[in-house]
Amino acid sequence: MNLALAQPAAAARAMAPPAVVAEEVRLSVANAPDILAGVNLSIRDGEFVAIVGPSGCGKTTFLNMVAGLQPFTAGRLTVVGEKPQAGRRETAYALARDALLPWRDALGNVELALQIRGVPPEERRRRATEALAKVGLADARTRHPAQLSQGMRQRVALARTFVTEPRLLILDEPFAALDAQTRIRMQELLLALLRQFSGTMIMVTHDIAEAITLADRVVVFSNRPAVVTANYEVKLGNRKRKTSELRADPEFSRLFEQVWQDIERGFGQ
């Protein structure tokens, strides 16, 4: 990368308006406790934020609001300065499950994201092929989901997510269904992909170690009705280090313990 060009680009992102701004965002439902009690959160352009908190506290609900899939009852929420809107071309949403189409091979599943956007067949085939190569599946492009391991399926899903070159990437527990060893490998893969990604990312995870390993900032939600109880900048040089190096850093252990205590206290909110 040309550093002379990279520095102005980084400076421009620092001066750009926030990618996501939530001000006192609330969600109430009839005849039930509130889900969100007033979430305040600003996410910088190009930042990777991981949201953690007690199970069922409303983390995924907040992601759905950002994606324009879930209305809220009070407050203000903007995405790149506009109201959230479902189907924005600049936004990609990766669910907890890979959601691959069983009748399409790996290449066809990745191409689907581009096909929906009207990309011509020749171009989408080229871009999908390149995306599969980046996740180490160049030799598996003709295999169908039933012929792939769970880890390989998740890599296809990641390729499908990144192939659209989104400016905002939303991840909801992307590796929750994987075993521990495969999960770490997928984290390594995502770190490698992030070195080439300049967009904004928001991820929900129940795995504190995963949040610290991958994100620039960890945000803690309380139990329902949820509010933001803590924000932590992660200053470990994440994207340039292996997960094993990160987890051996004393600062990693200190931050893990602090976030764990915040979540425990969040149950009492």
DSSP string, the chain: --HHHHHHHHHHHHHSPPSEEEEEEEE--TTS--SEEEEEEEE-TT-EEEEE-STTSSHHHHHHHHTTSS--SEEEEEETTB---TT-TTEEEE-SS----TTS-HHHHHHHHHHHTT--HHHHHHHHHHHHHHTT-GGGTT--GGGS-HHHHHHHHHHHHHTT--SEEEEESTTTTS-HHHHHHHHHHHHHHHTT--SEEEEE-S-HHHHHHH-SEEEEE-SSSB-EEEEEE--S-GGGS-HHHHHTSHHHHHHHHHHHHHHHHHTT-
206 vs 263: CA distance, rounded Å: 10
What is the structure's pLDDT at 233? 92
What burial class does residue 103 get, using C-beta atoms within 10 Å of its C-beta: 0-12 exposed, 13-18 middle, 19+ buried?
exposed
Kind of pairing between the strands at 217-221 and 228-233: antiparallel
36-43 β-sheet, strand order: 36-43, 20-27, 74-79
Tell me the whole-structure pTM to 2 decimals. Answer: 0.87
pLDDT means over runs of 10, the chain (269 residues): 40 69 91 87 94 90 93 92 86 81 94 90 93 91 92 90 90 84 85 85 93 93 91 81 81 92 72
What is the structure's pLDDT at 90? 86
